[in-house]
Amino acid sequence: MSEEIVLSIYRGDADGGQEVEYSVPLTPGMVVLDAVHQVQAHQAQDLAVRWNCKAAHCGSCSAEINGRPKLLCKTRLDDYVGQTVHILPMQTFPIIKDLVSDVSWNYEVAKKIPAFKPATAVPFRMQQFDVDRVQEFHHCIECFLCQDVCHVLRDHDAKDEYFGPRFMVKIAEYEMHPREGGDRIPLLAHEAGLNMCNVTKCCTEVCPQHIRITDNAIIPLKERVADQYWDPLRALFRRKKESPTNQSV
């Protein structure tokens, strides 16, 4: 008989719940999502889990495995031999059922970001060297694991004060585009709450796409905000244009 692995999966909804143990046969190279599907097909038809591509391209199957935010499809079970694998939904968002959380807040935030606004007409002439920087941000699969781990959102529940790392990456993608003609620096300084981030880099650590969120998106954006809002000469200039109530920085 083949080796078995024990999964302890959270079963419940908004009214509460608890972890339930399931045992599944281990096959070579098996990922956690495979095991969850096994449970679904043979032991608990109504076990709720999101997934799509099973190849770490879509970012649907985000969850917390033994306390770490991870993609179920990219986490190998042979990393957990001899251990019970605890699988919980992302804790920063409200639960819908079992491993599925309500991530709709993220889609509301996305709508607040002004779209890309090219300064010149297509086709663009841009060197690879110039687009390398933004292409890193285009790797984002919107799994929201960075949002899940961000302590501003998770521990302080400050969702009305900070858009979160995912959307800093999105804004950086537009702002650093060589042909961008828009300006989202006031948005970052105010509503997007960039100053809420105190660069603990937890988001970078959990990113399954290895985007250097803090170093390459957040810090350069902070520099741009500082340039515009903290440079003494510019600040003087800006005070003439803006009403005092807008100056929250």
- Total number of residues that touch another protein (CB under 8 A): 62
Among 17, 74, 86, 201, binds another protein (CB under 8 A): 74
Q: Which is closer to another protein, CB of 28 or CB of 244?
A: 28
Dist. CA 204–CA 75, nearest whole Å: 17
Q: Is 119 in the site for another protein (CB under 8 A)?
A: no
Q: Which is closer to another protein, CB of 169 or CB of 197?
A: 169
Which residues from 48-67 bind another protein, rule CB under 8 A?
Answer: 48-60
Q: Which is closer to another protein, CB of 84 or CB of 104?
A: 104
Q: In which element (H, E) is residue 24 found? A: strand 16-25
End-to-end CA distance of the chain: 64
- Collapsing DSSP states into helix, strand and coil, what is residue 174? helix
Among 115, 155, 160, 232, binds another protein (CB under 8 A): 115
Q: Which is closer to another protein, CB of 14 or CB of 199?
A: 14
Count the Cβ atoms, other than its own, within 10 Å of residue 118.
Answer: 13
Q: Is 104 in the site for another protein (CB under 8 A)?
A: yes
Looking at 93-231, list the stretches that DSSP marks H as alpha helix, in order from N- to C-terminal side. Answer: 104-111, 128-137, 145-149, 151-154, 165-175, 185-189, 202-206, 219-230
For 184, half-sphere exposure in the C-beta direction (CA atoms, 13 angstrom radius) is: 25
Could you list the residues that contact another protein (CB under 8 A)? 13, 27-31, 34, 40-42, 45-60, 74, 76, 96-98, 100, 102-104, 107, 110-111, 114-116, 118, 121-128, 131, 134-135, 138-142, 170, 173-174, 177
